[in-house]
Each structure stands twice: as structure tokens, then as C-alpha cells.
Amino acid sequence: MTTTTLSRDTTPAAQPPAARTLDLVKVYGRGEAAVRALDGVGVDLPAGRFTAVMGPSGSGKSTLLHCVAGLDSPTSGEVWLGGTELTRLSDKALTLARRRRVGFVFQSYNLLPMLTAEQNILLPLRLADRRPDAETREWVTGVVDALALGDRLAHRPGELSGGQQQRVAAARALVTRPDLLVADEPTGALDRHSSAELLGFLARSVRELGQTVVMVTHDPSAASYADEVLLMADGRLVGRVAEPTAESVLEAMGRLAEAGR
């Protein structure tokens, strides 16, 4: 990976959270079959910070991220993206807010197979009807450099390795300089080396670009790249680990498992 320095205006610490939820509840299904995927989650995602979300399978991590990103609407409670209450927006306004203000990276890379890497990266700008201006071009070049994708831009996803495809997906997610980057198990399909590269990039985008990142992961060493880890169980927030290391995350998860027994 190259060490190009990416530059972007960053505002000082005292700003409202990039995203916030208040008493968020999400119930899937009805009656006997109802599942309470989120059971009253109130959380702040501080701007310019890297937050990881961990917890057992089915604990509501993806549901929380989807609600925060406006991909799914909660049953009750509030979701705020900066000063905008997503839960009050019309479908159309929500779609626009999502396109302009949120970036996504999923476990499956979700690239369009007929587009080149570069076209995939620039797609969100096209969808948002934004022509890449000089500043954006420069920013894209910085992201592409930092992700070591420069010599792969003309290739289609089918001609790239999994790690390269996920880096293209990360570049695509960052191209609009979203207020919030949401990543759901982005390293789930990657080997150790590709994971480390992607996580290193996400961490740098926070430190050097002032990006806000929230990432679900099952891997304590992936979580250790974050500034803070939120622990979920049964649709609730049940713990936090500040300045996480793989060891402290494992320990906290162990304590929770003990307490839940």
C-alpha cells in the first residue's frame, strides 16, 4: 500500500454525532412469528470516529446499520443523520439523503460486472447527478492511490481478486465523501492480508479524511482498528470497549457470554 497523504478539511471535535438513534425498535413479522430485531437501541456515532459493532449472529447488528443508513425503516424510535431526522423523511427524500450522505460496503462486493473498476468507483457520482469536479477528481485519485488500485482501474470486477474488488467497493463508498460510511462485515470474505489492507484504509480514512465509519465485524482483530467497539445482544446495546485491542474485545465478549448464561 502506498502512503499518499489524503487531505480534506476536518472540523474540530465539538460537533454533533454523525448519526444517532433514539430508542430504536425494529420488529420483523407479526404475531407469533414476530422478531424483535432491535429492542430499544440508543447510540451516538461520533463524527470523525471509527466505530465497530460486534455481537452474536442474530443480535441485530445488520438491522441497526440498515436503519442508521436509511436502508430499512424502524418500527419506532428515531434515526438522525447529522441534523436530519431520517425517520421523518418521505421515501424520496430518504433515497436522496442516502445517496448523497451515506456510503456502503457489504460483505459481498456488489460491484456491477459490466463496468470497469473506475466506472464502478464513479457510479455514485453519476447516480447523484454530480459531475466529478477538479477537487473530486483529486480526491478520487487520492483514494485510488491509498487503496493501491491505480493499475487496476480499467479492469472489470471479474478480473480482480476478492481483496481488490472490496477495495474498489470501499473507494466507491467514499467517492461522494459521505457523512457516514457503513460497512457490514466488509472483511468477511477476505484473507488476512486483504483484510488488513482494507481495515488500514478505513482507519486512515477516519484519521486523515475525517471520515466517520461504522463497521460490523465478527473478528476481534478487525474490531481493534476501531476507536470504539459497541457490543450487541438480543437487539440491545450491552457493552462498549474503548481503544479496543483484539485481547480486550475478546475479554469483553467472554464476560458477556458468561453473564448471559
Q: Is 58 a binder of ligand ATP (CB under 6 A)?
A: yes
Q: Is 68 helix (H, G, I), strand (E, B) or coil?
A: helix
Instruction: Give percent helix, percent strand, percent coil of the chain, each to the nearest 5.
Output: 40, 25, 35
User: In angstroms, rounded to a whole number, what is the distance separating the alpha carbons of residues 261 and 183?
Assistant: 30
Q: Which of ligand ATP, Mg ion, none sits in contact with 1, Cβ below 5 to 8 A by type? A: none
What are the residues whose beta carbons fall under 8 Å from the beta carbon of 225, sequence distance 6 or more?
A: 50, 52, 199, 200, 202, 203
- In the complex, minimum distance from the CB of residue 52 to ligand ATP, in angstroms, rounded to a whole number: 13
User: In angstroms, rounded to a whole number, what is the distance separating the alpha carbons of residues 230 and 249?
Assistant: 10
Of 57-65, 78-86, 120-128, 199-207, the window that binds ligand ATP (rule: CB under 6 A) is 57-65
- In the complex, minimum distance from the CB of residue 65 to ligand ATP, in angstroms, rounded to a whole number: 8
Q: Is 187 a binder of ligand ATP (CB under 6 A)?
A: no
Which of 53, 66, 69, 14 is CA-nearest to residue 179? Answer: 69
Q: Which residue number, 132 or 188, has a Cβ lying nearer to ligand ATP?
A: 188
Q: Is 165 a binder of ligand ATP (CB under 6 A)?
A: no
- In the complex, minimum distance from the CB of residue 253 to ligand ATP, in angstroms, rounded to a whole number: 13
Q: Is 62 a binder of Mg ion (CB under 5 A)?
A: yes
- In the complex, minimum distance from the CB of residue 235 to ligand ATP, in angstroms, rounded to a whole number: 7
User: Of 29-48, which residues contact ligand ATP (CB under 6 A)?
Assistant: 29, 35, 37
Secondary structure element (H or E) that encloses residue 233, with its range: strand 228-233
DSSP state of 245: -
Q: Which of Mg ion, ligand ATP, none sits in contact with 221, Cβ below 5 to 8 A by type? A: none
Interface residues toward ligand ATP, by CB under 6 A: 28-29, 35, 37, 55, 57-63
